[in-house]
Chains A and B, each alone.
Chain A
Amino acid sequence: MTVRERLRQNISAAFYRHGLLCASYPVPIILFTSASILTCCYPLLKLPLPGTGPVEFTTGVRDYSVPSHESQGNLSERPDWYRGPPVAYIQQVLVKAAVSPWDNSLVPVDVFRSPLGRVFSLLEEIRNHIYTDRSLEALCLQVTDLLPGLRRMQAVLPEHGCLLVSPGNYWQNRRDLFDADPDLLKTVHQHEPKGLHTSATLKDLLFGVPGKQTGVSLYSKKRVVTYTITIALSSYDARFVASLRARLKLLHPSANCTLREDHMVHVHFKEEIGIAELIPLVTTYIILFAYIYFSTRKIDMVKSKWGLALAAVVTVLSSLLMSVGLCTLFGLTPTLNGGEIFPYLVVVIGLENVLVLTKSVVSTPVDLEVKLRIAQGLSNESWSIMKNMATELCIILIGYFTFVPAIQEFCLFAVVGLVSDFFLQMFFFTTVLSIDIRRMELADLNRRLPAEAGMPPPKPGPLRPRETPPPPRPSPHTITLQAPAFRNLRLPKRLRVVYFLARTRLAQRIIMVGTVIWIGILVYTDPAGLRTFLAAQVSEQSPLGEAGLPPHLGVAPVFPGGDPTSTLSVLPAPEPTPLPENQSQGHRAARPGVAPVSSPQITWGPEDEELWRRLSFRHWPSLFSYYNITLAKRYISILPVIPVTLHLSPQEAIDTRHPQDTHHAPPPSIKTSDLQTDLTLYKVAALGLFAGVVLVLLLFCLYRVLCPRNYGQNGVPHGRRRRGDLPCDEYGYSPPISEISPLLLRGHSMDIECLASDGMLLASCCLAGSACEAESLLGADFREPGGVAMGGPDVDIFPIRRRTNPARPALFGDQPDLTPLIDTNFGSLPPSQTLSSSGFDFGELVEKAYQEHEPSPTLAFPPSPPASQQRRRSLGDQPVLPPELPPQSNGDWDSSVWAMELRGNLIATGRSSGKLEIYQCDLICCSYFLVSISLMKMEIVAARLNGSLDFFTVEINKPLGLLQYRGPPGRGSLPPSPCYSSEDVISCQLTRSVQCAHQKPITVLKAAAGRVVTGSQDHTVRVYRLEDSCCLFTLQGHSGGITAIYIDQTMVLASGGQDGAICVWDVLTGSRVSHVYGHRGDVTSLVCTTSCIISSGLDDLICIWDRSTGIKLYSIQQEVGCGASLGVISESLLVTGGQGCVSFWDLNYGDLLQTVYLGQSSEGQGVRQLLVLDNAAIVCDFGSELSLVYVPSVLEKLD
């Protein structure tokens, strides 16, 4: 044993034990894993939140000095970006101007025209200010021309000089242009962008205060105009700034101004993610999601696909978080941009292991215990998992030695991520998987439980005659299940898209999400000033209003957390910051004044100190970006503002008027303006309401268009389809109404158990032990009452012993050939003297067979009842029957028929009592204790529960010495059938017997092409040659008992087992061609065509597989209990049974072609057996009746 082998074994064993552990204690392990994830992620709390918002740092003005480039370790409170000089120092001159006293002769334009006009003189003053031979020109930030794309701003923003912006820029800083401007507001607003905007607008940039607070409006209530003159300084000269401040204060003194002047704020800007970087980022994320989608799509055969996919994603994500957390814990601060490298990390770590694990666990045998399944699955994949991990670690290690810092860091993260991912896979995902598998088994158990619990003694409905019958009971199972699932359809793509939309309500959800996002954006950007308005409203109405508050507390500091008392005191106001002090003061001033005219008052409050905070956080970056100066990863320093108060006399205002100003409407009274705001509110509300109604209507229309009529009507129980209701799938798609009407054959008193046919004859038997035979011939055309011409079979039904005149349906009243009826009701007839005269005591024979459980070498040929071989060709000719008696004694009284075969006028039945009976219309042969028989030309093969196999030869016209019986000649004319007449002597001889064909009971037997194939509960399939009963192959590969076998003349052999697996074998070599798991539970029947395999299982699912590749093409969900009823009519036509109907499917596409209802009273009767005849007719049982459906139209349609 090499080292490698030993290593492999050890690893496998370790994984096995680990799997056992995980599956045994799922909850503690999951708790432990969650705890460790949280622990490892804890250091992440210390990391700054990702985001692009600016960061601030405040220093004093007095002892300010430009920070050095070197980081000083002792100043821990300094952020690490605070190094080196800032990009610029921002000095703002905050101007508040008002015309006072206000009088009625003034027009609204006067509110801002003359105050704005004063900006030019102020600018002049500032530009010309010189302090000890240092002028502004020397200190200010010199800018070159604007970016090429900004031509339209060229006239407004300064170029080639100081970066000094003010409202005067609108008029190129020229007083004459200002004076000549007839409409100031138009000039100001012509640069405003239309629609929603998130970045700073030009008005904000020039005025330096938020647009609402400028007061440049015709309807301003305060009549105070506020604006700033913003100067960007490249270097800081404290004395110059101080002298400028002093000069301006001297010129325009501000009374009661208590602004603090001792703090300067440094604002650091993060890197902006532009669209150029966003697109690759988004692309990588799209690729990542596609990867995750394609990976998790492969998860199959589990209880909850979504749950496992979620678990897989959680595993990967939390392993990444853990790696970042651990790296942070050990002092590695991530310098890489997390968002960028994240997709690559996920791709490196990958979801492969998780999927491999799932697949491996799922493919373990279903009948094992969950623990063992998990353990086996783990150990199967242990080697590959370990190998992959080692390879990846090696690659990453190589990457680490490139000595490129970025790659090294990436590799470090990846290593830690890989290890933690392994840990999580082993503990978290495995446990989740075990829980899932257990849930699936529980669900399966629940499905099967009622089958065993609900076996009522009085009338057990026969369901699966071939299904593993360990107890010799007449009825194996009764399954009463909950609501039936609907069929899965393969629809045209177009319809599928529409149905997908309808089912997931995608359109509605997208609209909803879009609306929510839109509202969020609205609230965030607050273009309508709604927040301010609300805050003002609340503060006015609140009893605590500002009257009750000290003024300095009435306004909270701009940044919450500055002092807690103030935020506490203004608690009633949800948004204390935007509360404009002077506005409310203006109100207060206006209210007590009885005079309609109120003089505006200029007040200075603490909120004016840092008015720039109200601006968009992109204000400064956008201003600088116009000059191709980036603020990303850099900072600016904002100096304390210089307050300037301007009081203008009314005369001055009138003097500066433009001639057109007076043409404007007279100033609206305060009351009307109040009314107007109210009206605006109502308008907005009405608009919102209207939009809501429209949205609802739109959704409703969408709903009606996209959804079928019955969509969402959950109240209607779908459990039982009413007569006349078309079967429709969950989308409401209903197939066309059939024009095929079935023929009903009646005669049985109880549910039909078995059906057999050779194309010309049809035999059935029911629970009561009676067998009916019907001949189906393609004879004369007949005409249905409805008038639809179709070729129909003649059905001759011959009564053998007891004439039972069935109440014929009116439908067939004019049918000539439907009268005769065969009813071999053996059980219900008393034994008669004919039997005794035959000299065979069947009762003893049966008893013997029961006791000895071995095939009797002698075969009893009962006296063949001599009657009723007539093929009636004439209507009304009543067959006269001799009072024949059943050859069975009362030993067969209550035994039911378990298996039946029909070929060339011979019927062989196997009874639960162990008898094999052969009829030639009415000839009865021998019997044994058997479960399955197969009839080939002249050979009968019978399989028994004890695992033995008997081969019989049927001989005709050869009077054998042993056990022969000559039946009396029939009285009627001989049938023109190619079969044997009843005058022939039929003898049956046991030729060979294989005693120990299988170790356990044989469950299925099929014969074709000179091969006899048996399946048994001992998990094997055996192939015998028919001639010499020699066992050719023993096929092993199932992990459960064999429940279904298919073999046809072309030597195609397929088998299905209790494990839900389907194997396709090569009969010539005995090798397994393919092996698929398709069903939960037993496979109940199997049919092959040249291109596909059709299987049905206990889960009532019909699966169609590609025969060559073993890929599942699609599946059809059957109704409960009808799973096994299926047949293939032609290469492309599949017929399945349902509740009171049969459905025809196109095999190639899985489309439902037609549904045929069998009778008027379809309540609760499912089609459990279905047989396809050669002449494109199908026969199915329908309660106690047989139904013959001829399907020419379907065939025509296919052709």
Chain B
Amino acid sequence: MPRLEEHCWSCSCSTTVKTKELSSASWIVCKTGEMMSIITSVLSQSYGSLHSLQSANLIRRGLVLFIVGVVLALVLNLLQIQRNVTLFPEEVLDTLFSSAWWIPLCCGTAAAVVGLLYPCLDHHLGEPHKFKREWASVMRCIAVFVGINHASAKLDFANNVQLSLTLAALSLGLWWTFDRSRSGFGLGLTTAFLATLIAQLLVYNGIYQYTSPDFLYVRSWLPCIFFSGGVTVGNIGRQLAMGSTEKPHND
């Protein structure tokens, strides 16, 4: 762990940019703890009833969500590791994998959990999500999410408050455009709150540090990213759930 930390520090120092990769990293970190217990229980449960279609379906969805989370984490991490333009790709990949091999895994796990929670919550609340349920809309949502990350990483804002406010507005816009359900809003808020809390704890314990913390120990725009990430993953999860319930009909 010390080696890792040092690496992150050197990275941030050398590139002299805001190392925002920590955001997604810490998000994942905090998620992992809570997720692991849930995942193990889910796994054992699913092994018990692997033969039933329901759980196989669940596992499939979880797997897809996990992969999506991993890919998004890798990409967004790369987006945030700023450009020390080097001609040696192995160098970049090296830093990526050595510093954060567990980041994508945690990210994927968190994505799987959140993505499975959303349709489950819909089901329990008894209000199925019908707003813009199609893959094109989901793709649009992912693109906007990546765009928000892009903006947080690359745009130069006058001050942090402005940046945070802009991102908050963008996240709310994302929710309004693609979700518009109370459960989605609530779950997104919960996700953001929990994730930020865990990030705070992690930073407090010295596992990570932010270059310029302005909200206790972390960056103030962190909750916005968590919120929009939760909404996006939930969108994917809902679409997957819908597709899987419709499948048997088709076949």
Contact = CB atoms under 8 A, between A and B. Distances in A.
Contacts of A406: 151, 154-156
B143 A288 contact: yes
A147 B91 contact: yes
Contacts of B2: none
Interface string A377-418: 000000000000000000100100011101100000000000
A995 interface: no
Given A147-B86, A274-B85, A625-B86, A402 B166 contact: yes
A490 to B, nearest CB: 10
Contacts of A343: 143
A294 B142 CA distance: 13
Contacts of A288: 143
Nearest to A622: B87
A625 B85 contact: yes
Interface string B56-99: 00000000000000010011101101011111111111100000
B134 A298 contact: yes
A632 interface: yes
Chain B interface mostly = helix
A279 interface: yes
B140 A291 contact: yes
B83 A274 contact: yes
B36 interface: no
B81 to A, nearest CB: 6
Nearest to A287: B143
Contact of B151 (A407, A621, A1148): A407
Interface string B141-174: 0111011001100111110001001100100010
A1108 to B, nearest CB: 8
Given A277-B83, A404-B158, A1109 B143 contact: no
A1111 B248 CA distance: 13
A1113 interface: yes
A1183 B240 CA distance: 52
B1 interface: no
B86 A274 contact: yes
Interface stretch (A344-352, A1061-1069, A1185-1193): A344-352
Contacts of B251: 1148-1149
A1084 B130 CA distance: 35
A344 B85 CA distance: 24
B110 to A, nearest CB: 19
Which of B88, B138, B165 has its CB near the most chain A CB atoms (within 10 A)?
B88
A628 B14 CA distance: 10
Nearest to B173: A395
B121 interface: no
A271 B90 CA distance: 20
Given A275-B89, A1113-B250, A280 B78 contact: yes
A724 interface: no
Contact of B87 (A284, A395, A625, A1149): A625
A848 B237 CA distance: 72
Contacts of B75: 279-280, 283
B47 to A, nearest CB: 26
Nearest to B76: A280
B182 interface: no
B249 A1106 contact: yes
B139 interface: yes
Nearest to B156: A406
Residue of A283, A294, A395, A398 contacting most chain B CB atoms (<10 Å): A283
A294 B134 contact: yes
A533 to B, nearest CB: 29
B139 A274 contact: no
Nearest to B90: A149
A404 B135 CA distance: 32
Given A274-B92, A347-B147, A406-B156, A291 B139 contact: yes
Given A279-B75, A404-B155, A404-B166, A272 B85 contact: yes
Contact of A149 (B91, B142, B151, B165): B91
B223 to A, nearest CB: 19
A291 B143 contact: yes
A287 B146 contact: yes
Interface string A627-640: 01010100000000
A291 B84 CA distance: 31
A983 interface: no
A347 B136 contact: no
Contacts of A621: 87
B79 to A, nearest CB: 4
Nearest to B96: A276
Contacts of A622: 87
A351 B136 contact: yes
A1104 B9 CA distance: 63
A287 B83 CA distance: 23
A404 B86 contact: no
Contacts of B84: 628, 630
A275 B92 contact: yes
A288 B86 CA distance: 28
Contacts of A150: 88
Interface in B198-250: 249-250
A78 B68 CA distance: 49
Interface string A603-647: 000000000000000100110010010101000000000000000
Interface of A: 147, 149-150, 199, 271-272, 274-277, 279-280, 283-284, 287-288, 290-291, 294-295, 298, 340, 343-344, 347, 350-352, 395, 398, 402-404, 406-407, 618, 621-622, 625, 628, 630, 632, 1106, 1109, 1111, 1113, 1148-1149
25 contacts: A149-B90, A274-B83, A275-B89, A279-B78, A280-B75, A280-B146, A284-B147, A284-B150, A287-B142, A287-B143, A287-B146, A288-B143, A291-B136, A294-B134, A294-B139, A340-B154, A344-B144, A347-B140, A347-B144, A395-B173, A402-B169, A618-B87, A622-B87, A1106-B250, A1111-B249
Given A290-B135, A402-B166, A1106-B249, 5 more contacts: A149-B94, A277-B83, A298-B136, A625-B86, A625-B87
Nearest 6 CB-CB pairs, A to B?
A291-B139, A294-B136, A294-B135, A295-B136, A280-B79, A347-B143
